[in-house]
Structure 1
């Protein structure tokens, strides 16, 4: 017997059909939520990015009890976009799932086809890139960089652009000239600070960030992960400063740079000593 909409919505084990029906009801123009009805792809996209970062944050903190909820929030974003597409007659959630399934089967012939699984991880990565290149060619995108997504975080997009250019030979052969370029770009930042406009300074800072991303790529370091780690370290050490100042009956605004810098050095030393 077919369930009614209310039965699906209130079924605690309803799985994906329940979530899809909830989204449909939220977007119903007559009985749905006014906020959800007003949204479009553009207004929802920032939330999608935010939820992806919250998944990454839960993993970074190994907050496994939170991860289920964060993955659910991210899944809901896909359902939201699929519902809006369905309303326009573009596609629905099943189309999204089928497209992803088709892609995974096509990109893993060593699992779902007749190719050998006896390959190194590096060889499988190269095969993956070859298949992706063929997919790009089928989309008639002529430029090497054409489908590197604009919405990626800037550091991540820089690395992807550099990797794509490197595939066609536009890359330094080793890290030495990249490090030389860091020094060059840093000098240009100083010159821009002293002599050029704020717009020119912004441009030079962009060049410096881009070459730093290139250094990370040559070293096999994920610059986004590296910066997230440093951000977390900064928060951790600054909280140590706040804790020490509280013992002295102070807050940061009651202190000065010399005192806080000394506490920073102490916090850094404690971390390195593992205490």
Structure 2
């Protein structure tokens, strides 16, 4: 018996004998797939192979779990999943498994995918993080020419959306404010596309910087015997600027 076959047997036993595992459904497991995917990303960023190995196993568990539930429904099993994946990989790589060149494949790739869809936007999951989904939707729309022609046009759009947001704020209409804030964020994602950077990754890294710097402020305030709630914004801002200098002096902390 291979380790993978042993895993399948373990999963089947869990579904038969463990009350929690037996009670799970595709819907109830959705949150765990998302959590495991993000934990895998953190493991990749950590550069720790043992951690990466463990998190890859957790993601694999989710695949096996869903496949077992589907098998019980008589829909498919994990071997069908693997078979379908094998066929898709071979079909999408004729330059490896056929006679076409890599350039021919790349030029036909999106054309073929577009033919399979009713809309060029089909296939972009609604469950993606909002910035990531926005960038993917805009990438798809650009395939048919729905795109800005220059970065200057993008900046003009950002300024336009910012002005509309200011007007919405003045109107004190919550729905308008939410609408215009969304439009401004969309325009900023468009800028990320033109700069060839990943908007989701940019914000994640900014979140990390914010957390690291704010924790620095908390730590320094504690060392000074002060409580943040009793400090003025000016005092906290001085520590915040100090935290930024600490970042630049310690690149390994970034």
TM-score when normalising by structure 1: 0.84
For 1:61 and 1:142, the matched residues in 2 are separated by 40
Of 193, 196, 213, 1:237 maps to 213
Describe the SS at the equivalent of 1:27: helix
What RMSD in Å do the two structures reach over aligned CA positions? 1.9
The question of whether the paired residues in 1 share the 8 Å contact of 2:220 and 2:239 is answered with yes
Gaps of 5+ in 2: none
Name the structure 1 match of 2:184.
Answer: 208
Of 67, 80, 85, 1:82 maps to 67
The question of whether the paired residues in 2 share the 8 Å contact of 1:189 and 1:205 is answered with yes
Asked whether 1:185 is paired with 2:161, we answer yes
Name the structure 2 match of 1:195.
Answer: 171
Name the structure 1 match of 2:113.
Answer: 132
For 2:49 and 2:144, the matched residues in 1 are separated by 41
User: Residues 100 and 251 (structure 1 numbering): CA distance in 2 closer, same or farther, change over 3 Å?
Assistant: farther
1:126 deviates by 3.8
The question of whether the paired residues in 2 share the 8 Å contact of 1:107 and 1:131 is answered with no
1:274 deviates by 3.8
Of 53, 57, 66, 2:38 maps to 53
For 2:168 and 2:106, the matched residues in 1 are separated by 41
Name the structure 1 match of 2:202.
Answer: 226
Asked whether 1:247 is paired with 2:223, we answer yes
1:109 deviates by 1.1
1:124 deviates by 5.6
Name the structure 1 match of 2:19.
Answer: 34
Describe the SS at the equivalent of 1:236: helix
1:255 deviates by 2.7
User: Residues 251 and 68 (structure 1 numbering): CA distance in 2 closer, same or farther, change over 3 Å?
Assistant: farther
Mean Cα displacement is larger for which, 254-263 or 222-231? 254-263
Higher relative contact order (CA 8 A, sep 6+): 2
User: Residues 164 and 35 (structure 1 numbering): CA distance in 2 closer, same or farther, change over 3 Å?
Assistant: same
Asked whether 1:145 is paired with 2:116, we answer no
Matched pairs, number: 251
Asked whether 1:256 is paired with 2:237, we answer no
User: Residues 172 and 245 (structure 1 numbering): CA distance in 2 closer, same or farther, change over 3 Å?
Assistant: same
Gaps of 5+ in 1: 4-13
Name the structure 1 match of 2:13.
Answer: 25
Of 128, 131, 150, 1:174 maps to 150
Residues 106-151 of structure 1: CA distance to partner in whole angstroms, max 9, x if unpaired?
Answer: 111111112235x4xxx764443234334xx2xxx32221222211
TM-score when normalising by structure 2: 0.91
